[in-house]
Chain A
Amino acid sequence: MEQTKQEIKSQGRVPLAADGVMFDIRDLNLYYGDFHALKDISMEILSQKVTAFIGPSGCGKSTLLRCLNRMNDLVENCRIEGNIKLGKKDIYDDKAIDVVHLRTEVGMVFQNPNPFPMSIYDNVVYGLRCQGIKDKALLDHVVETSLKQAALWDEVKDDLAKNGTKLSGGQQQRLCIARAIALQPSVILMDEPTSALDPIATGKIEELMESLKENYTIIIVTHSMNQAARISDNTAFFYLGELIEYNETGKVFSNPDNPRTEAYITGRFG
């Protein structure tokens, strides 16, 4: 009995290189009230890689993503068991790392671009100002480097006072990425970052992810199989709150171990 349980647990574990682990997720269970949304998730997310979470709506992939920067704390009746380690620190242990610190370490980009209705400059330095940084030279520097990394600098450098909400959808999303980068995080979580964008803007964001991966660990939730296949190094497939399969992207898409993964990828359900 004990052994079968152990087996089930290890199913989700993938024999990937043990070094360079960014997140170590162990026996994670999450409940929304009575609803068991994540079931016994154990996985390691590698640093400097793009990891894609795929699966049909309601499978728990976004929920898991929001566990990684504790945005689920904001949901009423949400209960979490198990633990998640960022490096050596348990992110749900406030003594190891407080939540405000965690979120600067683990940035997030949302499905709908959400720049603040303030200037581009103020958007980018928002997080730093919240930390109490007022040094103009430092802020100027961060604005320039962040916008450059987010491939937005050339488009907005002449008008940094422009309201962030006046940019196009794709530009807004890149501004949100720049805003997250400004805090020098290790990880950037992306929750369907291109689902509200047109194909051209999507292409730009995907290009951007490719270049960002050198410095950051990226975890992306996506509904587009093509996108996952194109940009990710590793792919995790979730179904009904369980981690069904987690492996290198090439393997998952060409020769999945689990028949449900294959059925989903080929579009037979989901």
Chain B
Amino acid sequence: MSKHEAFQERISKNRGMTAKRRSIDGVRNFFTYLSAALAVFVLGSIFVFVFQRGAKTLSWDLITEDFHTVKYMVNFTEQEAGDFAVPDDLKEGEYFSTKYGFGVMEGTDAAKDTVILLTRKAEDSPLHSGVNAVAGDTKDKPQDVPTHVNVVKIAYKNQEGETKSAGQVRHHTPQEFVETLDQESTGIVSMNYQSLGGGIRGSIRATLMLIGLTLLISLPIGIFAAIYLHEIAPKNGFTNFIRTSIEMLNGVPSIVFGLMGMAIFFPITAAFGATTPNILLGAITMAVVLLPVTIRQTEEALITVPDKLRMGSLSLGATQTQTIFKVVLPNALPGILTSILLSVSRIIGESAALIYTMGTFVVDNPHITGRATTLAVQIWSVMSGEQPNFELATAISILVLIIVLVLNVSIKLITRQLNKKWKE
């Protein structure tokens, strides 16, 4: 048998699926499937975990409520007890005062203490006719008692004409509270109540302010820098050096940016009247954090604009600047939009760079030059307090996850739309 024939025989023998090929394929496939499954499992368990722990806390009130409790006191002018019918739709655990026409049930406040929660008021309940009893401009002005507050104390007159109090101060349960009032009182004098707190309204506002301010700073700088790098700068080593440096910024941990922001950018915000860490400082710092991403994404968007459009524009006597702003940028817009969405989800998720620059104290009415927390920092904040509020932290996490998820899906849709446009 010649060498040629021997080789031919070997070739023909090895054509099919041999056991060796099958086993090597099997091992490789095993690892690809395993890794894919692991990734999906991890992602799934994050969602299951936060939803399980936080879903109960998640409610509309969480979003609209302040974080800190606010105390109120009202006096009543019409204090006589009335006669109210018990509503039909009373929930389990909810008690209704037939003398004063309001419902209460057990609830918890931000500090996770059990409170008496005001759930409903009848239309002509005396609770509508309170006047503010707290010193200040609005003293003696009418003040309606809102529902969904913690009833701390109601002072009432008993049959002997003495003033007594009922409510949380006497460690009443909702049932005891309503029974005490309905059996002993002849009229109510005043009421102390406080908001439940534990909400994230302030953090949502601060997050939106931070997003707006950051984009206001980072977008123009990022887009114009990208235009310079891709459209104007000569394609040489120096340009590449600048590009590489910008990309390396991407690898710098954001807490380093936070330190830098605190040290370098604070004087800028001080010029705007800031005396503490503030939202503006956070925005400037985040703009620096986002700069590499914005520049990179915008450059990618500019690359997708076909050269033949630039040529066409220049051949019609347009200047380079006109070409960039009339043809190139409009056609890069979908890509730039993607970079905006990426930036937004990065801002929402960032915490390290903001702890130094915006502080960790949750503020209910944030101001640009004052301290504030974003949702992500509030998670950190409520968990690092003396009494970690795990439920609240996971509830906020759900919101953050949903927002980031929606943003990511939008990015996918826009990218698809973009590709469709160019393939036509």
Contacts and interface: CB of A to CB of B under 8 A. Distances in A.
A130 B311 contact: no
Contact of A130 (B308, B322, B330): B322
A18 interface: no
B421 interface: yes
Contact of B314 (A74, A118, A176): A74
A153 interface: no
B26 interface: no
A148 interface: no
A126 B318 contact: yes
Interface in A163-187: 165-166, 176, 179-180, 183
Interface in B310-329: 311-319, 322, 326-327
A103 B316 contact: yes
Interface string B48-80: 000000000000000000000000000000000
Nearest to A185: B317
B315 A69 contact: yes
Contact of A127 (B235, B306, B308, B318): B318
Secondary structure of the B contact surface, majority rule = helix
B285 to A, nearest CB: 38
Given A110-B308, A112-B308, A76 B234 contact: yes
A270 interface: no
Nearest to B234: A76
> Chain A: interface residue count, which band?
20 to 34
Nearest to B331: A117
Given A117-B421, A130-B326, A100 B317 contact: yes
Given A110-B311, A117-B421, A176-B312, A100 B319 contact: yes
B137 interface: no
B234 A126 contact: no
Contacts of A165: 424
Contacts of B264: none
Contacts of B317: 100-101, 103-104, 127, 130-131, 183
A215 B317 CA distance: 20
A104 B315 CA distance: 8
Contacts of B308: 110, 112, 114
A231 B62 CA distance: 77
Nearest to B327: A116
B309 interface: yes
Contact of A71 (B306, B311, B331): B311
A66 to B, nearest CB: 10
A170 B326 CA distance: 25
Given A110-B308, A110-B312, A114-B309, A130 B318 contact: yes
Interface string B342-358: 00000000000000000
A179 B326 CA distance: 15
Contacts of A118: 330
Interface in A118-135: 118, 126-127, 130-131
Interface of A: 69, 71, 74, 76, 100-101, 103-104, 107-108, 110, 112, 114-118, 126-127, 130-131, 165-166, 176, 179-180, 183
Query: Nearest 4 CB-CB pairs, A to B?
Result: A127-B316, A104-B317, A114-B308, A108-B315
